[in-house]
Amino acid sequence: MNYEAVIGLEVHLHLKTKTKAFCGCSTEFGNEPNSQVCPVCLGFPGSLPVLNKVALDYAIRTGLALNCKIQEFTKFDRKNYFYPDLPKNYQISQYDLPFSRDGFLDINIEGKPKRIGITRAHLEEDAGKLIHKENTSLVDFNRTGIPLLEIVSEPDINSPQEAYEYLTALKSILEYLEVSDCDMEKGSLRCDANISIREKGQKQFGTKAELKNMNSFKGVKDALQFEIERQIGVLESGEKVIQETRLWDTKELKTVSMRTKEEAKDYRYFPEPDLPPFIISVEKIAEIKKSIPELPKEKMLRFVKEFGLSEYDAGILVASRRDSEYAEECLKAYPSKDKKAIANWLIGPLLSEANNRNSNICGLKVLPKGLLELVGFVDRQEISHLSAKAVLTEMIDSAKGASAIIKEKNLIQISDTGSLNAAVEEAIKENAKSVADYKQGKLNALMFLVGQVMKKSQGKANPKVVQEMLKRRLADA
Ligand code: ADP
Ligand code: MG
Ligand code: ZN
């Protein structure tokens, strides 16, 4: 049987506001437990919430960037449930009138564009954190009330790889918008994945499972892959998939059942009486729209047009906002019209140095000017590509400039034919067989001779110049 996966993702995002969604407590991460609390976020009777305007702005900005329609008349609702990390016994959320709905996000899958629908993006507040130790459970309310944006996708995603691309593209946009630090390790970006399978060609959706507890995009991908195989196994054995919430076990690399539909809660949503409904004016929406920077996709297309790069290369260069600014500075200042060489340096050696150091390009302390200086040496054939890569590593480690390192290590290649003549003649004299082979059309023999000259020059000769010299000399003879 041929099956198809149907996936919808729910992303929860901490908005990067200084204070919480409905009170003035700090949102700073990592402080003494319960040091950032007040009667409002602890749900004391008689305390009243006040909406954080910055959180509202960030929520609208994100909705607009995700091509959503912004709801002009909107309100908050109470989502009621009991849990020890929820002191109010309800969460302020949005039910039927979310700020944003009906948007989309374009991803690239195997070189082809695909549009994933965004059902809604609504504002709510985070709960606290339970800390379980041996025989006790502790609760930290510092996180309680931090503004949380929930972004729900349509079930338009059909493979774990598509889910991965969707999350990567979404994170890139969120970083460009500067609405969140998107740090999965700190829990400021979390993802639940809903997945079902159906026979290919079948219209109706299968029964879904909701996966939780993945702490990286790779984890989401792995969990989805596992779950597809599990669900196929269930169907093939003649049974039915049941609707349930499953946890991704990061040690065993499998999903395990957490709760089934029978235990699903009725949240008894009702309008939040302490926050009256309100209108987001058209002017306000227009003003926020203006504050949205050029987004990754537009920037990618501009890089293709302005610098003649492929969409693939440009896509890598724009993935992070700060690195894309760095790349643009390099591309603009690079003296040649053909920008491929500098783009290759950015995507190749520089990016892998950054990845190796768990950093981004901007974090490497090599300024665009420094990189261009180094690449200049290579372009003028003064140093080899190989030495240039070693110089780059040292530039990053020592914060020294390219020319200082090149001078110190004496890396400048010998390109002067006069100085190379003797070595060329020696190599020819000592390797009569290779000379004969070359004359019979064996190119390998020429490369061997180049190697011999390189050896004689202690690796200092410019191989391109040596090759030209040998060709000329052997054509004459
Ligand atoms: P719930 O009420 O259980 O939260 P929703 O209808 O709100 O379910 O959908 C939550 C997420 O699940 C959305 O991202 C949606 O696209 C996705 N989804 C809904 N039905 C299915 C299905 N049959 N298979 C996979 N994903 C689904
Ligand atoms: Mg849901
Ligand atoms: Zn508070």
What pLDDT does 441 receive?
87
Query: 170: CA distance to ligand 1 center in Å?
Result: 18
Answer yes or no: do 95 and 178 share one domain.
Answer: yes
Q: What's the 12 CA to ligand 1 centre distance in angstroms?
A: 15
Q: Which ligand is nearest to the CA of 264?
A: 1
Residues 369 and 433 in one domain: no
Ligand with the closest atom to the CA of 163: 1
154 CB within 6 A, ligand 1: yes
Q: Which domain holds residue 379?
A: 296-409
- Ligand 2 centroid distance, CA of 192 (Å): 9
CA distance 221 to 203: 24
264 confidence band (pLDDT: 50, 70, 90): low
Are 166 and 208 within one domain?
Answer: yes
Report the nearest-CA residue for atom 15 of ligand 1. Answer: 8
Whether residue 101 is found in the same domain as residue 127? yes
Of ligand 1's listed atoms, the one at least distance from the Cα of 153 is 14
Tell me how far apart the alpha carbons of residues 464 and 469 are, in angstroms, rounded to a whole number.
9
- Which atom of ligand 1 lies closest to the CA of 155? 16
Of 35-39, 140-144, 361-365, 458-462, the one with minimum mean pLDDT is 458-462
Q: How far apart are CA 460 and CA 466, in angstroms?
A: 11
Q: CB–CB of 149/123 below 8 Å?
A: yes
What pLDDT shows up at residue 1?
73
In this prediction the pTM is: 0.88
Distances (CA, A) of 6 to 155, 191, 215, 261, 364: 6, 16, 21, 19, 41
Q: Do 247 and 160 belong to one domain?
A: yes
Query: Looking at the CA of 245, which ligand is closest?
Result: 1
* 346 and 434 co-located in one domain: no
Taking 90 as the threshold, does the pLDDT of residue 458 lie above it? no
How many residues comprise the chain? 477
Q: For position 460, what pLDDT does the model report?
A: 86
Alpha-carbon span 210 to 257, nearest angstrom: 10
Same domain assignment for residues 91 and 223: yes
pLDDT of amino acid 263? 59
Domain boundary among 246, 261, 288: 288
The percent of residues in the chain predicted with pLDDT above 90, rounded, is 88
Please choose from 170, 194, 241 the residue to mutate so as to test ligand 1's pocket, defined by most ligand atoms within 8 A of CB: 194
Q: Residue 456 belongs to a domain with what CATH number?
A: 1.10.10.410
77-86, 130-139, 378-387 — which is least confidently predicted?
Answer: 378-387
CA distance 160 to 168: 12
Q: Please say which residue of 360, 392, 409 terminates a domain.
A: 409
Say whether both 114 and 189 belong to one domain: yes
Rounded to whole angstroms, the Cα distance separating 325 from 428 reads 51
Cβ 245 under 6 angstroms from ligand 1: no
- Judge if 244 and 322 occupy the same domain: no
Q: 205: CA distance to ligand 1 center in Å?
A: 10
Mean pLDDT, all residues of the chain: 94
Residue 158 carries which side chain, given as an amino acid letter?
A: N
Looking at the predicted structure, is the pLDDT value of residue 265 above 90? no
Q: Would the pLDDT of 189 be above 60?
A: yes
Same domain membership, residue 165 and residue 50: yes
Q: How is residue 241 written in tokens?
A: 């998939």
> 127 vs 381, which has greater pLDDT?
127
Judge whether residue 477 has pLDDT over 60. no
**For the chain, what is the domain count?**
3
What confidence score (pLDDT) does residue 411 get? Answer: 87
User: Which atom of ligand 1 is closest in space to residue 206's alpha carbon?
Assistant: 23
For residue range 341-353, list pLDDT tens digits in order.
999 999 999 999 9
Q: What are 235-255's pLDDT values in tens digits? A: 999 999 999 999 999 999 999
Element at 104 (helix H, strand E): strand 100-109
For residue 193, report the distance from its CA to the centre of ligand 2, in Å: 10
pLDDT of residue 476: 64
Higher pLDDT, 476 or 374: 374
pLDDT confidence tier of residue 262, bands split at 50, 70 and 90? low
- Shared domain check, 348 and 208: no
Q: Establish whether residue 228 lines the binding site of ligand 1, counting it when its CB lies within 6 angstroms of any ligand atom.
A: no
CA 218 – ligand 1 centroid, Å: 21
- Predicted confidence (pLDDT) per residue in 75-93, tens digit: 999 999 999 999 999 999 9
pLDDT score of 428: 93
Look up residue 99 and give its two tokens.
Answer: 């700020």
Residues 6+ apart with CB under 8 A from 444: 437
Please identify, among 409, 431, 453, the residue that sits at the C-terminal boundary of a domain: 409
Distance CA 421, CA 466 (A): 9
What pLDDT, on the 0 to 100 scale, is given for residue 327? Answer: 97
Pocket residue to mutate for ligand 1, from 208, 210, 243, most atoms within 8 A of Cβ: 208
Q: Is the CB of 208 under 6 A from ligand 1?
A: yes
Whether 300 and 281 map to the same domain: the answer is: no
Whether residue 395 contacts residue 357, with contact meaning beta carbons closer than 8 Å, is answered with no
- 154-187: pLDDT as tens digits: 999 999 999 999 999 999 999 999 999 999 988 9
